[in-house]
A = this chain, B = another copy of it.
Amino acid sequence: MELPLVFDRYRAEIDAELRSALAKHQSPMYDMVRYHLGWIDEKGYPRQNSVGKALRPTLCLLACEATGGDWHKALPAAAAIELVHNFSLVQDDIQDNDPERHHRPTVWSIWGKPQAINAGTAMHVLASLTLLHLRERGISVEKQRRAQYLLNESCLRMMEGQYLDISYESRLDIGVSDYLDMIDKKTAALIGCSLETGALLGNDDESIIRAFRNLGRDMGIAFQIRDDILGIWGGKKETGKLLAGDIQRRKKSLPIVYALEKAEGEMRGELVKVYQDQVVDPEGVATVLRILEAVEAQLYAQGVAEEYRDRALAEIERIVHLPWARDSLEELAHFVVKRKF
């Protein structure tokens, strides 16, 4: 499966903006950041390609263009959002004990958790510093302040979602609405922020800015549900992640939450029994997979993701009038629920 073409439109300049955010920092601490971003290997040798799709900065710049703005002016915001996203990945890997991401060892698994915490925080601070450069691109003081406020608020939501995600691990009483509340914070808030910030920097119409945030929230929820599906049925080859790792860690992802609601009698008993232990063993994983199949949890989850995609498509049709931008956003909405990585 190919990436939609719109990712190519901004990639080089997003990359340049990110590199300039790191350019003047020499302490070896920043090599952990450069490693995470895929610019160097663990020994410090340059690598050819960055890792990651850069979905969030692409959405930000596309929203800026779609609302009539000059996307170059929004580059500091796009880079800041990508840095916030990546700092959250470094922390997430620490919290989840994940040894690999994108087929590479995670930062903590090379440098240890204490240093990885420093690298994550440094990336977070670099995001704030990068956002301050909006002024030099001719963005008004008021809009720059608002962009800072938006990014900070989204970051708080993201932490609240991460808090819920972890606290759900040891619970079995999580329903679909608890789940949706959690991913709205953990994932959709920052994707919503990407589109809202792009629209804010592209135009002055408050109703349009709000509509882009809602569009981002819907796309974000669809994105996370697809992530949940890949977290259980995605092969390691595609995602670079542990096969069925989400089951082992007792993550209350949508297929599991659905099975907990749906499974009855003996089947429910089996599910509950597997989740009694702190870590689910391979036999337990097999049991869970069998129950997920019996209740058709993948079909259900994919259906919910597509509902949110359809809401996104309707919103795009309503608010985006530039034909190529509309096509690109539609393609992205389809991409988030079809992607295999």
Contact = CB atoms under 8 A, between A and B. Distances in A.
Contacts of A126: 156
B160 A29 contact: yes
A177 interface: no
A11 interface: no
Contact of A128 (B27, B128, B160): B128
A121 interface: yes
A132 B118 contact: no
A117 to B, nearest CB: 6
Interface in A115-145: 115, 117-118, 121-122, 124-126, 128-129, 132, 135, 141, 145
A253 interface: no
A95 B117 CA distance: 8
Contact of A118 (B114, B129, B162): B162
Contact of A153 (B95, B129, B159, B166): B129
A25 interface: yes
A155 interface: yes
A117 B117 contact: yes
Interface string A287-315: 00000000000000000000000000000
Given A115-B163, A135-B145, A155 B125 contact: yes
Contacts of A141: 141
A74 interface: no
A118 B92 CA distance: 10
B159 A132 contact: no
A239 interface: no
Contacts of A166: 114-115, 118
Contacts of A163: 27-29, 115, 118
A167 interface: yes
A148 interface: yes
A125 B27 contact: no
A4 to B, nearest CB: 31
A187 interface: no
Interface residues of A, number: 37
Contacts of A132: 145, 148-149, 152
Nearest to A135: B145
Contacts of A95: 113-114, 117-118
A222 interface: no
A67 interface: no
Interface in A263-284: none
A86 interface: no
A171 to B, nearest CB: 13
A224 interface: no
A197 interface: no
A148 B128 CA distance: 9
A94 interface: yes
21 contacts: A27-B160, A27-B163, A27-B164, A28-B163, A29-B163, A96-B114, A114-B166, A117-B117, A118-B162, A118-B166, A121-B121, A121-B124, A122-B160, A124-B124, A125-B152, A126-B156, A128-B128, A129-B156, A132-B148, A132-B149, A148-B148
